[in-house]
Amino acid sequence: MTNTLYIGDPAYSSWSLRGWLLFERFGLERQTVWVDFANRDVAAQLAAIAPARTVPAVVTDEGAVLGESLAIAEELASRFPEAGIWPEAPKARALARALACEMHAGFGALRSACPMALRVAYDGFVPSEEVLADLARLDLIWSHARETLGVEGPWLCGDYSAADAFYAPVAARIATYGLPVSEASAAYVAAHLADPAFRRWRGMGFAKGEDLPWYAKDLPKREWPGPAPLAAEAVADGPSVNEACPYSGKPVTHFMQAGGKVWGFCNAFCRDKTVPDPLAWPKFAALYEAH
């Protein structure tokens, strides 16, 4: 049996991103159930797995219900100690847990004023004093972790850990709203935007769910500040280079043009999640490189 992960709209559900990264980034198998955000009835959609009422939620293979992201992180770390969800070194592990706990409980002004919205990047957003205070706190704790541990790579506590998964939606908010942070924090945000797992999640945000007006800001839009993807677009017809979908191995029925060639997929979601950033998907990237 496999753990079942319940997650919401990838464009808007910041906590779902955290839960998904805990599985995706650490190579853990799961079945995925998508929860529709359009009707605002998340708790009703989770009624079958009560007492969970928000996403992400996990039902373990023996039926335990985990409705909190910190609980999910800790339980996965216990069940899969080899995955590296928390750092192995005690000092780094302690700092990573402290960082994740602060994110779980704090930064209310930032989260309220700047909801995650991965399909857009805004220009001209003016943060309040409360949001600026949250950003200053992020600068402090991110720098403290890296300096205390002597980290040289892009992540907070050495290798990518649950702490980084918890701050990925914060990086998304900083990118979407063009929020002012220190040079070191900006580099940390850029690492998230370049992370293939984050890019895959953002790609799914274009393929699943609709634009929800209660998340929109009446501001000019600008280009997304992440790495420029391989240009691609959905097309109506083949023939395609490949006869089998790179993800499922099933016969192709939907098509995408990229790199001067047409590529096939077994359904609209497989294609549409790939179009925004094709080379973020390892199986498609391998197919692309082979041809």
Tell me what pLDDT residue 269 has.
Answer: 97
Mean pLDDT of 196-218: 95
Cβ atoms of 209 and 118 within 8 Å: the answer is no
Measure the CA–CA gap between 162 and 148, rounded to whole angstroms. 18
Of 8-17, 30-39, 124-133, 247-256, least confident by mean pLDDT is: 30-39
The tokens describing 278, both together, are 């094709």
Angle, helices 69-79/90-105, rounded to nearest 10 degrees: 150
Give the burial class of 19: count Cβ atoms within 10 A of its Cβ; 0-12 exposed, 13-18 middle, 19 or more buried: buried
Instruction: List Cβ neighbours of 208 (8 Å cut-off, separation of 6 or more).
Output: 9, 10, 34, 269, 273
Mean per-residue pLDDT of the chain: 96
SS3 98: helix
pLDDT digits (tens, 9 = 90+) for 253-282: 999 999 999 999 999 999 999 999 999 999
What is the pLDDT averaged over residues 103-117?
96
- pTM for the full predicted model: 0.96
- Is the pLDDT at 91 greater than 80? The verdict is yes
Q: Is the per-residue pLDDT at 209 higher than 90?
A: no
Count of alpha carbons within 13 angstroms of residue 90, beta-carbon side? 0
Closest CA to 272 of 208, 199, 210: 208
Local confidence band at 1 (pLDDT 50, 70, 90 cut-offs) = low
Statement: 90-200 belongs to CATH 1.20.1050.10: yes
pLDDT of 40 higher than 70: yes
Question: What's the CATH number of domain 4-83, 3.40.50.720, 3.30.830.10, 3.40.30.10, 3.30.465.10?
Answer: 3.40.30.10
If phi > 0 it is left, if psi is from -120 to 50 it is alpha, else beta; for residue 121 that is beta
Establish whether domains 4-83 and 90-200 are of one fold.
Answer: no
Report phi then psi at 244, rounded to 5: -120, 145
Q: Domain residue spans in the chain?
A: 4-83, 90-200, 232-290
- As a whole number of angstroms, the distance between CA 282 and CA 200 comes to 10
